[in-house]
Structure 1
Amino acid sequence: MNEPQLLNHIEQYVQQFMDEHYRPELLYHNKEHTIRVVRAAKQIGEHYRLNEQDFLIVVAAAWFHDLGYYTAGRTDHEKEGARLAADYLQRQHVDTDTITKIQHCILATKMPQNARTLLEQIVCDSDLFHLGTTDFADCNKLMRKEAEAVKGSEISKADWRSKTIQLLQGHQYYTDYCRILLNDQQQQNLDKLLQKEERKKEELPETKQPEQVIEDKKNRNKETSRGVETLFRTTSANNQRLSDMADNKAHILITVNSIILSVILSVLIRKLDNNTHLIYPTILILATSVSTMVISILATRPSIPAGIFTQSDVDTQKVNLLFFGNFYKMHLEDYARGMWKVMGDRDFLYGTLIKDVYSQGVVLGRKYKLLRLAYNIFMFGIVVSVLAFIIAIYTVQ
C-alpha cells in the first residue's frame, strides 16, 4: 500500500464529495474546517514521528471525520463518516485492520470525546485544535451561524456564550504536544468570554431571588479563583523568562571575557618583556575580565537548600513545597503527604504560591544586582583599559 498516494486520492475524493453534496447551511463544518483539521493532524502526527501507516490513519480519519454532515446531518454524523470512510477504503483495497482504526478515530470525535489510543487522541485534538488558537472567535461565530441555519431560528448571544464557556471549561487536550502548545491560548479565549459574561451581568441589573444571589456569588468566587490562578501562572512565567534572560546575559559576559583572557594570555603576555610600558594596562584589562567573569558566575551559580522539611514545617505552613530545593532528599510518601495537605487547604495552597513567587523574585533580585555590577565593571574597566593602552603607547613614542 502506497500511503502518500492513497492520501492524495482520499483528499481528492473527500473534496469532490463535499462539492457534489454541497449544503449551504454548513458554515463551519465545511471544506475549510476539514482542511484545518487535516493540517493539525499532520502537524501533531509529525511531532510524534508516526510511521507511514499510523500517519495515514490519522490523516484519513481527519478527512472523513465530518463527511457525515453532508448526508446524515448533525445527528450521528460520526457513524455516517465512519461508514463513508469504510466504503471508500474498501474500494481502494485497504486492509481491514487499518479501516477499523480509521473508523475508531472518527467515532472518538463524538462529543464528549472518548479517545483511547494515541491515534484517536491526535484526531480528537485536531478536531478541536481551534479552541486553543487565535482563530477561535471567528470559528465560534461561524458555528453559531451554522447552528442557527440548521435550527431555523436565532440563538441569543448570551445562550451561545454560556454553552461555549461550558465547552471550554470542560475541554482538555489529550496529547502533551497540544496541551503545551494550546492550553494558554485556550485559557485566554475562555477568560475573554468570562469577561464578556461579567460585563453583560453588570449592564443588566435585575431583582434576584436569594437562591440566585447565592449562585451568583458562587460563580463569582469560581471566576475569582480562576483569575488568581491565572495571575500566579502569568507571574511565574514572567519570572522564568526574566531568569532565562539573566542567565543569557551572564553567559554573554562570560563568553566575551573568556575570549579576551585567551587573547591576552596567548598573545600579549609573551611580548611584555619587550614592551614593559604595557604591563599596567594589561594587568588592568586582566583584572577587569576576571572580575566580570567571577561576578557573572556568581549571578548564575545555584544555591541549593538542605532538601528536607519536617512535619512541623507543613503543620505551621512555613515550607514552600513547590521549590525542589526543599524536598529533593525526601521520600515520595512524605512529600506526597505534604502536597495533599497543601491541596486540601485553600489558604495553605495560595500561601505556598505566594512564597514561590516571592522566592523567585528574591533570586531574580540577586541575579540582576550582580549582573548590573558585572556590566558596570566590564564597561568602565574596558574604557579605562583602552585609555591606559593609548596613554602607554603615546608615552613611549
Structure 2
Amino acid sequence: MNYTTLLEEVKQYALHFFGVHDNQQFLYHNLNHTESVVKSATLLAAHYHLSDRDFFIVLAAAWFHDMAYYTGPADGHEKNAVELMRVFLKDKGVDELTISEVGDCILATCLKNPPEELNLNQRIVKDADVFHWGTDEFLDRSKLMRKEAETRFGKKIGKKEWTEGTIRLLESHEYVTDYARELLQAKKLENLARLKQRLHQQEPSGSGVKEERAAKAVPGGAGHGKASVAIPESVVIKKKKSDRPERGIETMFRITSNNHQRLSDMADNKAHIMITTTSIILSVLLSVLLRKLEDNPHLVIPTMLLLVVCVVTLVFSILATRPNLPKGTFTHQDIDEKKVNLLFFGNFYQMSYEAYSEAMHVMMEDSDFLYSSLIKDVYSQGVVLSRKYRLLRNAYDVFMFGIIVSVLGFAIATIFFGH
C-alpha cells in the first residue's frame, strides 16, 4: 500500500471537511488547530524514525482527531471521530488492523487515558494534541479555548475561574514521550508559572498594592511535589533566549536530515522498480524473441531498439543506486581548518577509532565546527539526492519514450512488413 498517496488523500479530505463544515463558534477546535497538531505529530514522528505505515497511522489520527466536534456533541467526540475515520479509510481499502490502530491513536488524545497503556504511536498523537502547552503560543490558544467554551456553553466564564482550571490541568499533565518532555517541559512550566502569577494578580491583595518586581515561580515538576524556586524575570528571559534557538536549530537539522533520508529511500525504491522491470523485459527478449528473429527478420530493428532502451534504462537505474565512497580519511589540518564532515562515515571509515574519537571531541567542543558539519551533512545529502533523482528522471524518460517508440516500431513492422 502506498501510504504517502493515502496520507495525501486523508489531508485533502480533512481540508475539504473543515472547509464545508466551517463554524465560527469553534475558535480553537478548527483547521488551524488540526494543522498545528499534524505539524507537531510530524516533528515527533520524524524524531522517532517511524516506518511509513506508522507515520501514516500517526498523521491520519492527527487529521481526524477533532473532526467530530462539527458533527456531534463535544463529549465523546473522540469515538465519533474514529467512526468518521473508519468510514473514509474503509472506502479507500485500508486493512482493518491499520484502521484500528489509527482509531486507538485518536482515542489516545483523551486526557483521561493512562500513559502506561499507550504505545509509541499513541503517545506521539497524545503529545502532539497538547504540543502548544510547551510553546509561546499557549496563552493565545488558551484565550481562544475560553472564548469557544463561552460560546458553546452560552455563558460567561470568569478569568479567575478559567485560570484556576487551566492551572489544575497543567499541573496534572505530563508529556508521555521522552522527546516532548525534553523539548517542551521547561516551557510548559514557565507557562504554568505565568498563570499562577496572573492568578495572584487577579486575587485581591490585602495591601491593595501589586508587587512591582515580577518573578517566575518555576516548580520542580508538575505533580512531583517539589518546592518551587523563585527565579527573577531577567534570568528567565536570558535562559529563554539562550536555550530556545538551540532547540530550534537542532530540530531543523533533525527534520531536514530525516526528510532527505525518506526521499533517498523513495528514490532507491523507484530505481529498484525500474531495475526489476527492465530485467524482466531483457530476460524475455533474450530467451524468447531473439530466437525467432530468423523467421521474422522484419522485427529485428524494433527488437534491437527495445533492447537498447532496456539496457540504457537499467544503466541509469543502477547508477542512481550505486554508492560512491570517498577515500575515508582526514588529516589534522582538515580538523584545524574545520573542512571535514565527521558525521558522514565516508570521511572516516579508514581512520582508527582513536583518531576519530579525538576529532569528534574537538568538534563537540566547538559549536561553529559542529553546526558547520551539520550544514555540510545536509548539503551533501541534498547533492546525493539531486544526482539520484536526475539519473532516475533520465531512466524514466528513456523507458517511457523508448517503450512508446518500440511499440510503434513493432506495430509498423508487423503491419507493413509482416507478410
Q: 1:304 aligned to 306, 325, 328, which one?
A: 325
What is the letter of the counterpart of residue 339 of structure 1? M
Alignment of 1:150-161 (within 5 A): 157=166, 161=170
2:184 maps to 1:190: yes
What is the letter of the counterpart of residue 135 of structure 1? K
Q: 1:246 aligned to 267, 271, 275, which one?
A: 267
The residue that corresponds to 1:235 in the other structure is 256
The residue that corresponds to 1:291 in the other structure is 312
2:298 maps to 1:280: no
Q: What is the deviation of 1:217?
A: 2.4
Which entry has the higher C-alpha Rg, 1 or 2?
1
Q: 1: CA distance between counterparts of 2:186 and 2:314?
A: 47
Q: 2: CA distance between counterparts of 1:197 and 1:255?
A: 56
Q: What are the superposed Cα offsets for residues 75-97 of structure 1, whole Å, 9 maximum, x if unpaired?
A: xxxxxxxxxxxxxxxxxxxxxxx
The residue that corresponds to 2:31 in the other structure is none
Q: 1: CA distance between counterparts of 2:247 and 2:367?
A: 13
Q: What is the deviation of 1:248?
A: 0.2
Q: 2: CA distance between counterparts of 1:247 and 1:324?
A: 19
Q: What is the deviation of 1:193?
A: 6.5
The residue that corresponds to 1:339 in the other structure is 360
Query: Structure 1 residues 160, 315: closer, same or farther in 2, change over 3 A?
Result: farther
Q: 2: CA distance between counterparts of 1:281 and 1:191?
A: 67
Q: 2: CA distance between counterparts of 1:137 and 1:366?
A: 35
Q: 2: CA distance between counterparts of 1:214 and 1:288?
A: 68
The residue that corresponds to 1:256 in the other structure is 277
Q: What is the deviation of 1:133?
A: 3.3
Alignment of 1:303-382 (within 5 A): 303-382=324-403
User: What SS does the corresponding residue of 1:134 show, helix, strand or coil?
Assistant: helix
TM-score (norm: length of structure 1): 0.54
The residue that corresponds to 2:126 in the other structure is 135
Q: 1: CA distance between counterparts of 2:293 and 2:186?
A: 68
Q: 2: CA distance between counterparts of 1:239 and 1:269?
A: 43
Query: Structure 1 residues 160, 222: closer, same or farther in 2, change over 3 A?
Result: farther
Query: Structure 1 residues 362, 389: closer, same or farther in 2, change over 3 A?
Result: same
What is the letter of the counterpart of residue 410 of structure 2? F
The residue that corresponds to 1:221 in the other structure is 242
Q: 2: CA distance between counterparts of 1:162 and 1:341?
A: 42
Q: What is the deviation of 1:359?
A: 0.5
Aligned residues: 243
Larger helix percent? 1
User: Which ranges of structure 2 fall in alignment gaps of 5 or more residues?
Assistant: 1-114, 132-162, 199-211, 216-230
Q: 2: CA distance between counterparts of 1:230 and 1:258?
A: 42
Q: Alpha carbon RMSD of aligned pairs, Å?
A: 3.8
Q: What is the deviation of 1:159?
A: 8.0
Query: Structure 1 residues 275, 341: closer, same or farther in 2, change over 3 A?
Result: same
Q: 2: CA distance between counterparts of 1:208 and 1:395?
A: 93
Query: Structure 1 residues 138, 259: closer, same or farther in 2, change over 3 A?
Result: closer
What is the letter of the counterpart of residue 133 of structure 1? I
User: What SS does the corresponding residue of 1:135 show, helix, strand or coil?
Assistant: helix
Q: What is the deviation of 1:391?
A: 0.2
Q: 2: CA distance between counterparts of 1:217 and 1:135?
A: 31
- 2:183·2:247 contact (CA, 8 Å) conserved in 1? no
User: Which ranges of structure 1 fall in alignment gaps of 5 or more residues?
Assistant: 1-124, 141-153, 172-181
What is the letter of the counterpart of residue 166 of structure 2? K
Q: What is the deviation of 1:345?
A: 1.3
Q: What are the superposed Cα offsets for residues 125-151 of structure 1, whole Å, 9 maximum, x if unpaired?
A: 9478689432348899xxxxxxxxxxx
Q: What is the deviation of 1:195?
A: 12
User: What SS does the corresponding residue of 2:125 show, helix, strand or coil?
Assistant: coil
- 1:136·1:189 contact (CA, 8 Å) conserved in 2? no
User: What SS does the corresponding residue of 1:330 show, helix, strand or coil?
Assistant: coil
User: How much identity, in percent, do the aligned residues show?
Assistant: 50
Q: What are the superposed Cα offsets for residues 234-287 of structure 1, whole Å, 9 maximum, x if unpaired?
A: 111100000000000000000000000000000000000011000000010000
Query: Structure 1 residues 265, 128: closer, same or farther in 2, change over 3 A?
Result: closer
Alignment of 1:107-186 (within 5 A): 126=116, 132-136=123-127, 157=166, 161=170, 186=180
Q: What are the superposed Cα offsets for residues 206-253 of structure 1, whole Å, 9 maximum, x if unpaired?
A: 986895234312223212211111111111110000000000000000
User: What SS does the corresponding residue of 2:325 show, helix, strand or coil?
Assistant: coil
TM-score (norm: length of structure 2): 0.51
